[in-house]
Amino acid sequence: MNPAPKSHPSRREFLANSGKALAATALAGITLPHVHAAEDNTIRLALIGCGGRGGGAVKDAFSTTGGPVKLVAMADLFEDRLTRCYDSLQKEKEFEELLDVPPERKFLGMDAYKKAMDCLRPGDVAIFATHPAFRWVHFRYAIQKGLNVFMEKPIAVDAPSARRMLALADEADKKKLKVGVGLMVRHCRARQELHQRIQQGEIGDIVLMRAYRLHGPYSGTFCGPKPADQSELHYQLRRPIGFLWLSGGLFSDYNIHQIDECSWMKNAWPVKASGIGGRHYRGNCVDQNFDTYSIEYTYPDGAKLFFESRIMEGCAKKFASFAHGTRGCAVISTSAHTPGKCRIFRGHDLDAEPVWAFPQPEVTPYKLEWQDLLDAIREDKPYNEAKRGAIASLVTAMGRFAAHTGQEVTYDEMLNHDHEFAPDLDKLTMDSPAPLQADADGKYPVPMPGKITNREY
């Protein structure tokens, strides 16, 4: 894809071949843990972040074909979450031979990510399913260790962390590491064919896209008051969606997929965004999120993406994305992320008979993204989604910024913005003060469009 703003570094081409001599050099002088055998071609996994997404990523990796994989280490901040994830994996009989995580390879605490990755050899895979704020910290260490990576989205929460991820993506390229980012829609075979058909002109030039994510709150979306027996840091780490410094808030965490898939179909990134949003019916909730967002993204040729988000009980639900061109329209997503059920229509009547529809049923892209990553590792093919993932994260944050400040913001302004939610995150310990502090009433800063317009977003 062509990153629209010319000031943004162009995505350089991947090198055609990986140097096996470099891998051999990376192994020199490293003492490998006992889980490795020189003749073993098993790809070993270390899971960093043992919530539902982390456990799901491991199961998807276990479901691939083409060669053996094994989970050999796990890390989390909290013991109960690690235990729950391990027990869930252990209950799956088909995974019994793929799970090799004795107690001495289960790690807890802020430095647990290092200990888990130290159980891998260069060329194995570290899975990052922690809070997005920590992506750059963990990615940097993985690159130092010569590890391939799968990281959940989003991979940056503000401009400084996005810039770090862009620089680290280049470092990963230099080491020819394979990096997958959990924007699994890009691996959906239905959407891949739809993208190809759109690029071939089957709906003409895209002039408008629409995307909707309208549903009730999930568990953990909104946060009640902090319990008296929890520290600020512990409380926030347990409720990441509620706090911008940890996750980018619900807007970044929930909505990045549809913003990314629409930009993919357009073959461009937005050059600016404007938006509105608000908080409603919140009771004693103290998180930093809006309940509603309406964002207008503008692409280089003037085409628009209108994105609507509403997390509210009792309202009409809709979870879909559409592209409208000069010759027709297309369904990008029908209901949630999978299956896509992609279709093309000759006009703009979505109730008409489609002229093309992807055959059903579809293979879930959650498994396909892992198959594609592991195939690239085994076949030593260029594969690095980190730069695209960083740009998608930044563009999503740009929409959030526009709504939270009440200002129009350009891509260049967003990319070069200097506000960082949590500086020196690599030095954070469980005894550190939280990067965000509550006021005397136990409430946290919330967006104030028109009043706070340039920094806190």
Same domain assignment for residues 50 and 149: yes
pLDDT at 455: 67
Global model pTM greater than 0.85: yes
Q: What is the pLDDT of residues 305-354, one digit of tens each?
A: 999 999 999 999 999 999 999 999 999 999 889 999 999 999 999 999 99
Look up the domain containing 149 and give its range: 20-185+367-384
Q: Is the pLDDT of residue 58 over 50?
A: yes
Distance from C-alpha of 344 to C-alpha of 332, rounded to nearest angstrom: 9
pLDDT at 16: 32
Range 168-190 average pLDDT: 98
Measured CA distances, 68 to 43, 93, 95, 103, 375 (Å): 6, 16, 12, 22, 12
Distance from C-alpha of 18 to C-alpha of 64, rounded to nearest angstrom: 23
- Residue 351 tokens read as 């109730």
Same domain assignment for residues 128 and 117: yes
Q: What is the pLDDT of residues 372-425, one digit of tens each?
A: 999 999 999 999 999 999 999 999 999 999 999 999 999 999 999 999 999 999
- The total of structural domains in the chain comes to 2
Instruction: For residue 71, tell me if it sits in a domain.
Output: yes
The single residue listed with the structure tokens 């199961």 is: 59
Q: Is the pLDDT of residue 10 over 80?
A: no
Same domain assignment for residues 336 and 211: yes
Same domain assignment for residues 120 and 264: no
Same domain assignment for residues 155 and 300: no
Instruction: For residue 1, tell me if it sits in a domain.
Output: no
The CATH number covering residue 352 comes to 3.30.360.10
Instruction: For residue 419, tell me if it sits in a domain.
Output: yes
The single residue listed with the structure tokens 């940097």 is: 140
Same domain assignment for residues 317 and 413: yes
Same domain assignment for residues 336 and 261: yes
Same domain assignment for residues 377 and 325: no
pLDDT at 40: 78
